[in-house]
Every structure is written in C-alpha cells, then in structure tokens.
C-alpha cells in the first residue's frame, strides 16, 4: 500500500481534536480561556507585522490574531493563509482594546491570540469573493454563483434562508403531530397523476417500453390513505412538473401535503390557519391574525382581476358594462353584444398625465405586455372641471363619460382607465394593468416586514375550456368534487359548474390549493367522462382509485401548500432560487452538477432506449 504524499498526511492530522467553541460563541466572559476554533478564513488584514483574520463558520465570525510576540511559529504559518483556507487554531481569548471593539459582531468584544495553527485544507482563489461581511461581497452573476453553489451557500443570507426553511419544516412537523396527523411517505416512482403539467418519466429496465412517472403530487396516494383509514395524513414532499418554466417556478418543488377524512372546507381552513400561525410565529416571531378573510373566485376576478389577488392595496376594478349600455360607441357596443364586459380602474393622482405617457401606457403595457386590444381613458385634470376623454365627443357622448367618472368615484386629479373585451379575460387584463399601476404608484410593500394579507379564494369553476384540445379540462384536478347543488347540472352546463375547491393566497401569491374530493365511484366516473376520458382509459389510468372507491371510501378532502413560495415570502427573497439549496435555473438546469446530462450508451441499451438526434431548428 502506498502512503499518501507527506503534505496530505499532515493536512489530515488534526491534533487539536474537537473545537471548544463555534465562531459565533465567544464573549467577554471567555477572556483568559484557551479555546480551539475551526473554520474558514474570511478576511485578513496585516497591521505592523500582526495578522488579523476573521474566522468564519455558520455561527458567525471571530477575530483571530497572529503576532510574532505571541508565537513566532504560528505567525509564520499564519502568513501563508489566504481566503477560504480551512484551519484549526488553538489560542487564548483576549479582550479587544476600546477602539478596536466591533459592535456589529456578537463576538466583537474579544479576539483569540493564536499559538497553534493547523491548516486543514488550503483553497484556491475563489471565482467570486466570499465573505460574511456585507460590504466585502459583490454579488457575482447568478450563473456563476449557481455553478459554485457551495461557495454561494457560504453567504449568511443564503444560510439564514435555509435555516428559516429548517424552522418551517420543524414547525410544520410539530403542528401536525400535535393534531394527530400521520406522516406517510408515498412513492417517488409512481404512475402519472394529472395536475396539469407534463410528467417527468423514468424508464423501467425490467419492463421495456414502460415508464414510471415522478409525482406531480401524491394526490391519488393520499386519497387511498384515506380509504385505508389513516384519517389524517401529511407529508413534506417533493413534486415534479415538467412545465415551460416561468420566473417563479422550479421543475422540482416541495409541498406540505395534507388530507383529512370526513373533511369539510371549514375544517381545512381552520387547520391551515393554525399551521400558518405557528409557522409565522416560529420562523419569524410574528403573530398573524386568524381567521383569514374569504372571497369567492368570481368576486376575486371581478374586483381584482385575479384569482390570487394582492389585497394589500385597493385599486379595485369597476364593471361599467351597464353604464355604457347603448352608448353608440362601436367598440363598446360590439363587446356588449358579444356578452363581453367593459371594465374600469381609477388611478388616483394621474389625471395630469400627458399624451406621451398615455401613448406609452397604451402601446408598451396594454397592447404589448397585456395583449389587450387598446386603452380608453378619461383624464380629470387637477385644475378645472373638464374631463378629457381619449374618445372623441361625437363618438362617445360626454354624458356616458360623466356617468363612468361618477360610477368609479373619480375626482379632479384622477385618471380612469378602461378596457373592453371578453369575459372573464378582460378582468384578468385589467388585473395585470392594476398591478402595473400599483407598482408605479409604489403601493406594493417590498421586503418581508408585512403586512400579511392571507385570503381564502373559494368556489372555483370545476372546469376550464381548453381551446387547443377543444375539450374541458379540470381546473384543479379530476378528483375535485363539484358543489353538491351543481351535481345534476354538471353535464348541462359544465362551464358554469363550481367546485368545492379553494386556494390560499398571500400578498398576491397562491401559496396553497386543495379541495373536497369526489369519493363516490359513480361521480368520479362521470367526471372522467366529462373530461373526455373514456371508460377504458379511465380504467387503465385510474382503475386502482375507482376500485378503492368500491370498498368503503370515506368522504375526504385536503390541500397542498408550496414550501418554496412560503419560504420566499417569509425571507423577502426575490426568487425561489434563494430559498432552495440546489435550485435549477430558469431553463431547468443544475449548473453545479451539470444536469441534465447524457448517459452511458450501455445504460440506454439496458433501458431499451434509442435516442434520436434532436431535429435541426
Ligand atoms: N394535489 C394538489 C396539488 O398539488 C393539492 C390538493 O388538491 O390537495 O395542487
């Protein structure tokens, strides 16, 4: 057996044994003690032959000092230290002089005068500066940080985020345990559960041509657990959805998944409000108020133009369809004839905006970004009493403009924006414009100091018309129960059927969603039929569930909450990537391990997979 080279052997030899303290622990009361600290070299200063180093670990920073008077040998070796070297030091805790006390650091009253140094591992110059000192960090571009994620994760901000996430897990587990829930793991290699995205598939070696699917959610398993009598289930679980990525999505994400037997909406709401209360208290020390307000889906869309309204500010929408009835203005008449709607937004203080601003708003935001046909507006200058309409008087008579201005409660100095279009699309477009204006008006609080506007959105439509597939698709998933009063009419007017589904919204983000489920085999089969899934396919894909419903399936319901989103909001982060240890980029890659990646041809052969080269663009 060959011995390792000498330098390796020495480096591995840590004769100091255990550390006595972390780098965040030492205080004035430790003065005079001999201590052993271990950590990373954060910053280094040489002053008159004395070397000062901030030693870092996840607990904090401690200043360690090498002086030729204290120990010439340690000082000499100390001279070789560079940023991010990992070291072990033995030394004596000493008070700092009055003028060198650092009030910003908890350890700032003391330093450790080193008499023994072991370099546990040197480090090459890092691709970007790493430091616990705010002012010494320059944030490198994100791709570089993701590639060297282990360096980026040394930043206190990211460490704090992951610590918060840890507390969130613990609060959740304690909460559910207290409420008699059972944590059950469900398979990762499973069969497709439709949650509206593409599946990630895993080929089977033993069954050529067959595939497992990674869970988009453990929906069917948790329902089966209810049939099995588990009564109350929860799991902190990874879910996978192969979606075209948007800014606030990750292909794999974490949910707090919950299911309750004999559930009602009220039971779910009360439970989750209690959980949120604990989470906010235990992660941030904040008391939030419960119960949360509720709003139906229809009201949310009509009032805020969104099914996840940010209710931290007003700027509510006004439906002016009745006001413009019979106005003779062709654009409005046409829309109303097609059962569309005319929707307005009052923007306080914008009545003096000039043509240039209005033209840009129309072109860049309304048409380009929002995709609406065009903007109509009425300006009420702060001086004078005349309302200036973007539509000429002979086209839209002033009486209608005045009625609109009155209906939205506009005063001199206000601007009234109007969009006309199909229902409910025009509300959603105005909802996007509302958010744009709110940003301009600085109405959206930034950071993570609240306020916390939780909201239950209820009575969602059961189905959604999919124009591409020319059929109805489930708005949540096919296991969601219609409201019982809608059961009979489900087939006559599918689009108008409401579901026993609810979302939990916080400050304009959907942080959870769930429903009371179908537990009756017949209703479930009807639901599949409504979605255009014929009996054979239903049997093939969901036979196990339909079977389970034959043998005493209790009524049940539940919810799933998005851990990454909640953590992002709690930390005030701008992106999900800030609260995930090893996130994917927006184009679904892990830049550190370089995945996805090609595999050995042999592996493909075993899996009976042949890869065809991607078609040339
Ligand atoms: N499985 C659903 C989801 O992932 C949540 C639920 O209905 O409980 O969105």
User: Which string of DSSP letters, residue by residue, matches 131-170?
Assistant: -SSGGG--PPPHHHHHHTHHHHTTSHHHHHHHHHHHHHHH
Cβ(284)–Cβ(578) below 8 Å:
no
pLDDT higher than 60, residue 52: yes
pLDDT value of residue 487: 86
pLDDT value of residue 187: 98
pLDDT value of residue 560: 98
Among residues 289, 254, 267, the alpha carbon closest in space to that of 179 is found at 267
11 three-state secondary structure? helix
Cβ(116)–Cβ(72) below 8 Å:
no
**Mean pLDDT to the nearest integer, 363-378:** 97
Alpha-carbon distance of 486 to 141, in angstroms, equals 53
Q: Which of 477, 545, 564 to mutate to test the pocket of ligand 1 (most atoms within 8 A of CB)?
A: 477
What separation in Å is there between the alpha carbon of 294 and the centre of ligand 1? 19
pLDDT value of residue 617: 57
- Tell me the pLDDT tens digit for each residue of 510-561: 999 999 999 999 999 999 999 999 999 999 999 999 999 999 999 999 999 9
Q: Which of 199, 257, 458, 501 to mutate to test the pocket of ligand 1 (most atoms within 8 A of CB)?
A: 257
The per-residue pLDDT of the chain, averaged, comes to 94
Residue nearest to atom 8 of ligand 1 (CA): 559
Q: Indicate if ligand 1 lies below 6 Å from the C-beta of 512.
A: no
pLDDT above 70: percentage of residues in the chain: 97
- Tell me the pLDDT tens digit for each residue of 58-115: 999 999 999 999 999 999 999 999 999 999 999 999 999 899 999 999 999 999 999 9
pLDDT band at 11 (very low <50, low <70, confident <90, very high): low
Among residues 448, 460, 66, the alpha carbon closest in space to that of 286 is found at 448
**Mean pLDDT to the nearest integer, 4-13:** 51
Give 482-543 as a DSSP string.
BPGGGTGGGTT-GGG-BBSEEEEEETTEEEEEEEEBP--HHHHHHHHHHTT--HHHHHHHHH
Q: Indicate if ligand 1 lies below 6 Å from the C-beta of 256.
A: no
Instruction: Give the lowest-confidence range in 193-197, 310-314, 315-319, 455-459.
Output: 193-197
- Tell me the pLDDT tens digit for each residue of 406-415: 999 999 999 9
Give 417-478 as a DSSP string.
EEEEESTTHHHHHHHHHHHHHHHHTT-S--SSS----EEEEE--BSEEEETTTTEEEESS-T
pLDDT value of residue 6: 46
pLDDT higher than 60, residue 347: yes
pLDDT value of residue 523: 94
Taking the CA of residue 257 as reference, the ligand 1 atom at the shortest distance is 8
pLDDT band at 467 (very low <50, low <70, confident <90, very high): confident
Half-sphere exposure of 406 (CA within 13 A, CB side): 8
Q: Indicate if ligand 1 lies below 6 Å from the C-beta of 192.
A: no
Q: pTM of the entire structure?
A: 0.93
pLDDT higher than 90, residue 613: no
Instruction: Give the lowest-confidence range in 2-6, 165-169, 316-320.
Output: 2-6
pLDDT higher than 60, residue 428: yes
Alpha-carbon distance of 252 to 434, in angstroms, equals 31
Cβ within 8 Å of residue 613, ≥6 positions away: none
Q: Indicate if ligand 1 lies below 6 Å from the C-beta of 573.
A: no
Alpha-carbon distance of 501 to 557, in angstroms, equals 9
pLDDT value of residue 310: 98
């Amino acid at each position: 057996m060959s011995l390792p080279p000498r330098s390796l052997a020495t480096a591995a030899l840590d004769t100091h044994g255990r550390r006595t303290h972390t780098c965040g622990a030492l205080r004035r009361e430790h003065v005079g003690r001999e201590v052993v600290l271990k950590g990373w070299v954060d910053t280094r200063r040489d002053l008159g032959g004395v070397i000062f180093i901030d030693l870092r670990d996840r607990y904090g920073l401690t200043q360690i000092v090498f002086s030729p008077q204290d120990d010439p040998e340690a000082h000499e070796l100390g001279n070789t230290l560079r940023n991010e070297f990992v070291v072990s030091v033995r030394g004596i805790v000493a008070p700092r002089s009055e003028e060198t006390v650092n009030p910003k650091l908890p350890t700032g009253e003391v330093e450790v005068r080193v008499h023994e140094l072991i370099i546990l591992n040197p480090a090459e110059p890092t691709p970007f500066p790493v430091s616990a000192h705010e002012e010494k960090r320059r944030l490198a571009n994100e791709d570089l940080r993701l590639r060297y994620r282990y360096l980026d994760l040394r930043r206190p901000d990211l460490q704090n985020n992951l610590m918060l996430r840890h507390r969130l897990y613990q609060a959740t587990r304690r909460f559910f345990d207290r409420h008699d829930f059972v944590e059950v793991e469900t398979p990762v290699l499973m069969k497709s559960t439709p949650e509206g995205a593409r599946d990630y598939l895993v080929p089977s070696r033993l069954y050529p041509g067959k595939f497992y699917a990674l869970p988009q959610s453990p929906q069917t398993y948790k329902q089966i657990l209810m049939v099995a009598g588990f009564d109350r289930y929860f799991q902190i679980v990874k879910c996978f959805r192969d979606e075209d990525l948007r800014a606030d999505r990750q292909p794999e994400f974490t949910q707090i998944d919950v299911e309750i037997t004999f559930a009602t909406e009220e039971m779910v709401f009360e439970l989750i409000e209690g959980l949120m209360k604990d989470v906010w208290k235990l992660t941030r020390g904040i008391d939030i108020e419960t119960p949360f307000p509720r709003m139906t889906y229809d009201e949310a869309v009509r009032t805020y133009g969104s099914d996840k309204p940010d209710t931290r500010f007003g700027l509510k929408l006004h439906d002016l369809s009745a006001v413009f009835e019979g106005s003779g203005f062709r654009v409005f008449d046409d829309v109303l004839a097609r059962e569309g709607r005319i929707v307005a937004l009052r923007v306080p203080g914008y009545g003096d905006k000039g043509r240039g601003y209005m033209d840009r708003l129309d072109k860049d935001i309304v048409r380009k970004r929002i995709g609406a046909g065009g903007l109509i507006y009425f300006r009420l200058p702060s001086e004078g009493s005349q309302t200036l309409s973007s539509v000429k008087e002979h086209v839209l008579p002033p009486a209608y403009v005045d009625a609109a201005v009155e209906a939205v409660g506009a005063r001199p100095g206000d601007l009234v924006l109007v969009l006309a279009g199909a229902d409910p699309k025009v509300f959603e477009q105005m909802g996007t414009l509302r958010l744009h204006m709110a940003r301009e008006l600085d109405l959206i609080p930034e950071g993570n100091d609240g306020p916390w506007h939780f909201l239950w959105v209820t009575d969602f439509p059961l189905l959604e018309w999919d124009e591409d597939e020319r059929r109805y698709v489930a708005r949540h998933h096919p296991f969601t129960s219609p409201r019982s009063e809608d059961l009979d009419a489900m087939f006559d007017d599918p689009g108008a059927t409401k579901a026993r589904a609810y979302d939990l919204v916080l400050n304009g983000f959907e942080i959870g969603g769930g429903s009371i489920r179908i537990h009756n085999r017949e209703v479930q089969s009807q639901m599949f039929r409504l979605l255009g899934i014929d009996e054979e396919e239903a049997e093939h894909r969901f036979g196990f569930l339909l079977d389970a419903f034959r043998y005493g399936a209790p009524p049940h319901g539940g919810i799933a909450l998005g851990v990454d989103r909640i953590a992002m909001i709690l930390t005030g982060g701008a992106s999900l990537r800030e609260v995930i240890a090893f996130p994917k980029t927006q184009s679904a890659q892990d830049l550190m391990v370089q995945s996805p990646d090609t595999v050995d041809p042999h592996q493909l052969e075993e899996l009976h997979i042949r890869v065809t080269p991607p078609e040339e663009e």
